[in-house]
């Protein structure tokens, strides 16, 4: 049975061990989506819901609004993503040399409930919820997601040019996606 405080404590131990230990812990948690929902509540809106934050561990309940996308970004720390509702599509990017965009697509993965992805500290990815319903995921980071020792980066969706990571912009992306979803509900679509 998923219990937030026990999960966070176990994540602290697992992060100190290795990424495999974190992945196993997250996989065990998302194997029972109903238990997560019983503990955290059913997602009702998109957003970045911090469950724990410290210098060596951040645990976030990300809820993606329907049909939203988040620009390419890095973490500069190990991350583990476990889906407990909906679908999360990831495009993985790599830096490129020469003229043109600074990054290029290098692969993709589509995850549903019970699936887990481990991301190394150098991974660049963008995220999309392709569904017309909320997607919910537990993300575990091996560091301070909001104030990492090495500054994070994000890339513009259209130009793929690099900029410093801006958490306020990310929160605005979530807020705007939620407004679009709410407007669609109000319009009956």
pLDDT of 128 over the 90 cut? yes
Does 170 or 52 have the greater pLDDT score? 52
Q: Please, what's the b/e burial string for 115-129 (b: 16 or more CB within 10 A of its CB; e: otherwise)?
A: bbbbbebebbbbbbb
Chain segment 136-154, per-residue pLDDT in tens: 999 999 999 999 989 999 9
- How high is the pLDDT of residue 186? 62
Residue 185 confidence class, pLDDT cut points 50, 70, 90 = low
As a whole-number percent, the residues of the chain with pLDDT over 70 amount to: 97
State the pTM of this model: 0.91
- Tracing tokens 């994000």 back to the chain, one arrives at 154
Domain range summary for the chain, segments of one domain joined by +? 4-187
Residue 22 has what pLDDT? 97
For residue 21, the model assigns a pLDDT of: 97
Residue 183 per-residue DSSP state = H
Q: Which two three-digit tokens encode residue 187?
A: 């319009």
Q: How confident is the model at residue 188 (pLDDT cuts 50, 70, 90)?
A: low
- Does pLDDT of 183 surpass 90? no
Please report the pLDDT score of residue 182 as a whole number. 84
Is the CATH number of domain 4-187 2.60.120.10?
yes
- Residue 138 bridge partners (DSSP): 61, 82
Q: What is the pLDDT of residue 97?
A: 82
pLDDT of 112 reads 97
């Amino acid at each position: 049975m998923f219990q937030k405080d026990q999960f966070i404590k176990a994540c602290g131990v697992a992060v100190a061990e290795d990424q495999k230990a974190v992945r196993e812990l997250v996989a065990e948690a998302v194997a029972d989506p109903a238990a997560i929902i019983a503990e955290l509540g059913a997602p009702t809106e998109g957003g970045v819901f911090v469950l724990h934050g410290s210098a060596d561990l951040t645990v976030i309940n990300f809820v993606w609004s329907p049909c939203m996308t988040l620009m390419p970004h890095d973490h500069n720390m190990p991350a583990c993503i476990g889906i407990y509702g909906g679908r999360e599509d990831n495009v993985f990017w790599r830096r490129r040399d020469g003229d043109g965009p600074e990054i290029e697509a290098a692969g993709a993965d589509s995850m549903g409930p019970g699936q887990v992805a481990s991301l190394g500290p150098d991974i660049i990815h963008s995220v999309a919820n392709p569904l017309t319903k909320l997607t919910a995921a537990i993300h575990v980071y091996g560091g301070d997601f909001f104030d990492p020792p090495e500054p994070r980066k994000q890339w513009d969706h259209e130009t793929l040019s690099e900029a410093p990571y801006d958490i306020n912009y990310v929160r605005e992306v979530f807020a705007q996606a939620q407004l679009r979803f709410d407007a669609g509900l109000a319009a009956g679509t």
